[in-house]
Amino acid sequence: NAGVTQTPKFQVLKTGQSMTLQCAQDMNHNSMYWYRQDPGMGLRLIYYSASEGTTDKGEVPNGYNVSRLNKREFSLRLESAAPSQTSVYFCASSESRAGVNSYEQYFGPGTRLTVT
């Protein structure tokens, strides 16, 4: 099993450009997540998808959109990149069942994005 994979690993964008970060998991997990990691701030949730066909905003959704393409794939789109979106982006997935919250989240290796 590859676990959670992300592409690309690195990306440099100019302000105003758009791009999509791709994420896929092969663990048959129901739930998937996008986080950003900034120095001194830990990880903050951007969007999540509790199950195929649903998406919800997290803590910092402004400037981003997501698509849960199927059970395996969850993409994050920046429509018009801004320097404030320079960050490391992590995708994660987890099993989930109603009323059970102890399932760990499995993380991908991250995408380092720089917006100039």
Partner 1 sequence: GDSVTQMEGPVTLSEEAFLTINCTYTATGYPSLFWYVQYPGEGLQLLLKATKADDKGSNKGFEATYRKETTSFHLEKGSVQVSDSAVYFCALLMDSSYKLIFGSGTRLLVRP
Figure out which of the listed residues 48, 64, 68, 113 binds partner 1, where binding follows CB under 8 A. 48
DSSP string of the chain, one letter each residue: ---EEEE-SEEEE-TT--EEEEEEESS--SEEEEEEE-TTS-EEEEEEESSTT--EE-S--TTEEEEE-SSSBEEEEESS--GGG-EEEEEEEE--BTTB--PPPEE---EEEEE-
Q: Does 22 bind partner 1 (CB under 8 A)?
A: no
| CB-nearer residue toward partner 1: 63 or 109 | 109
Q: Is 1 in the site for partner 1 (CB under 8 A)?
A: no
| Closest CB to partner 1 among residues 56, 79 | 56
Member of 68, 108, 113, 115 binding partner 1 (CB under 8 A): 108
Is 81 one of the binding residues for partner 1 (CB under 8 A)? Answer: no
Inter-residue contact 50 to 69 (CB < 8 Å): no
Confirm or reject binding of residue 43 to partner 1 (CB under 8 A): yes
Applying CB under 8 A, which residues contact partner 1? 4, 31, 33, 40-45, 48, 50, 56, 58-59, 90, 92, 94, 96, 99, 101-102, 104-110
